[in-house]
């Protein structure tokens, strides 16, 4: 019997959905990394917990679409607060991000603790959105997550030219008449979508890793956008499948942290072994330059190119 046949049907469906989320998160996260907006996803992810709890308080429902809708509204609110703090207080990006991250996550924890303290019926289990809980996903939930992930990848593919130009040369894009702020906000909103979709897999605390680590790892292997997107998506997919497989085979091993650790391992491999940007490749290049300088065979033009 094959390993796949030995796994329950629901586990296979959940694994397929989480793999789709991992692939889409890697693809979408590339533009956050290239645009130097990686921490924006972190601010959005930490705001989602307050949205999950608020959606439950307002509706009394615990179905995943309702909770994720609340998380998405909260993520957008967190991003709007981030933009407002930057624009009206002239606070640095890192400080503004830290403010939004801390306040929104503190609000989410306070709301969640309040539900537990009052013993609100049906509130048990919401804390699982902190670290993710794929075992609670139904087949319908998994199909919905995979559908949203596929739609996000389609949006990136349709807007690839515009997104690439905004990421690398926003001044030229503005000179060409393109609405750079609108495109920038659209990319950030797409990152927020993937942060929300990734909540069941990695939770509010760790979901940012899904949209940051695979693109950073992929960047070590290529300087071209299209290969980077494909490679980042593949790395996200492999990390997601590795985390689900490990948590399915090892009792009580949480899926979210395992996915993040798998992604970190892939980044470590990329960091050391990438053919041009990898640590080993750069060490070989520096040794070669030092050897050629000592031998007097390195011209000034070559020295500048190698540096």
Condensed to tens digits (0 to 9), the pLDDT of residues 118-171 reads 767 667 778 888 877 777 788 888 889 999 999 999 999 998 988 888 888 888
pLDDT per residue as tens digits for the range 101-124: 999 999 999 998 888 777 676 677
2 has a pLDDT exceeding 80: no
**Domain-located, residue 86:** yes
**Domain-located, residue 123:** yes
Query: What does pLDDT average to over the chain?
Result: 86
Count CA within 13 A, CB hemisphere, residue 82: 28
**Domain-located, residue 246:** yes
Burial (CB < 10 A; 0-12, 13-18, 19+), residue 245, is middle
pLDDT value, residue 1: 45
Instruction: Give the integer Cα–Cα distance in Å for 76 and 21.
Output: 19
Instruction: Give the integer Cα–Cα distance in Å for 13 and 25.
Output: 18
Q: What is the mean pLDDT of residues 162-181?
A: 86
**Domain-located, residue 229:** yes
**Which residues neighbour 194 within 8 Å (Cβ) at sequence distance 6 or greater?**
21, 24, 25, 28, 29, 41, 149, 152, 210, 211
pLDDT value, residue 149: 94
**Domain-located, residue 230:** yes
76 has a pLDDT exceeding 90: yes
Could you tell me which of 263, 225, 270, 271 has the C-alpha nearest to residue 18?
A: 263
pLDDT per residue as tens digits for the range 192-231: 999 999 988 888 888 989 999 999 999 999 989 999 999 9
Cβ atoms of 191 and 200 closer than 8 Å: no
Its domain, for residue 111, covers 8-274
pLDDT band of residue 300 (cuts 50, 70, 90) is: low
Instruction: Give the integer Cα–Cα distance in Å for 277 and 92.
Output: 30
**Domain-located, residue 299:** no
**Domain-located, residue 302:** no
Read off the CATH number of the domain in which 168 is found.
1.10.3470.10
| Range 271-278, long-range pairs (CB < 8 A, 24+ positions) | 271/217, 271/220, 274/220, 274/221, 275/221, 277/219, 277/220, 277/221, 278/220
**Domain-located, residue 101:** yes
pLDDT value, residue 217: 95
pLDDT band of residue 185 (cuts 50, 70, 90) is: confident
The number of distinct structural domains making up the chain is 1
pLDDT value, residue 229: 96
């Amino acid at each position: 019997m094959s390993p796949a046949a030995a796994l329950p049907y629901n586990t296979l469906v959940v694994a397929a959905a989480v793999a789709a989320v991992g692939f889409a998160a890697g693809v979408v996260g590339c533009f956050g990394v290239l645009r130097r907006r990686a921490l924006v996803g972190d601010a959005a992810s930490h705001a989602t917990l307050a949205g999950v709890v608020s959606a439950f308080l307002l509706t009394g429902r615990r179905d995943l679409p309702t909770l994720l809708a609340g998380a998405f509204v909260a993520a957008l609110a967190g991003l709007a607060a981030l933009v407002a703090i930057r624009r009206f207080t002239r606070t640095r990006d890192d400080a503004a991000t830290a403010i939004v991250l801390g306040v929104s996550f503190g609000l989410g924890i306070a709301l969640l603790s309040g539900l537990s303290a009052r013993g609100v019926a049906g509130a048990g289990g919401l804390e699982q959105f902190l670290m993710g809980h794929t075992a609670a996903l139904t087949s319908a939930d998994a199909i919905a997550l995979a559908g949203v992930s596929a739609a996000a990848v389609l949006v990136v593919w349709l807007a690839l030219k515009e997104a690439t130009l905004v990421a690398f040369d926003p001044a030229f894009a503005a000179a060409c008449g393109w609405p750079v702020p609108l495109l920038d906000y659209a990319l950030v909103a797409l990152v927020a979508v993937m942060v929300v979709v990734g909540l069941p897999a990695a939770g509010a605390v760790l979901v940012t890793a899904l949209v940051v680590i695979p693109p950073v790892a992929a960047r070590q292997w290529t300087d071209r956008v299209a290969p980077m997107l494909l490679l980042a998506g593949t790395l996200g997919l492999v990390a997601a499948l590795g985390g689900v497989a490990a948590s399915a085979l090892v009792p009580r091993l949480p899926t979210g942290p395992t996915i993040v650790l798998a992604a970190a391992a892939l980044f470590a491999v990329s960091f050391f072994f990438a053919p041009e940007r990898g640590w080993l490749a750069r060490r070989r290049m520096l040794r070669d330059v030092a050897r050629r300088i000592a031998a007097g065979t390195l011209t000034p033009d070559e020295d500048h190119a190698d540096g």
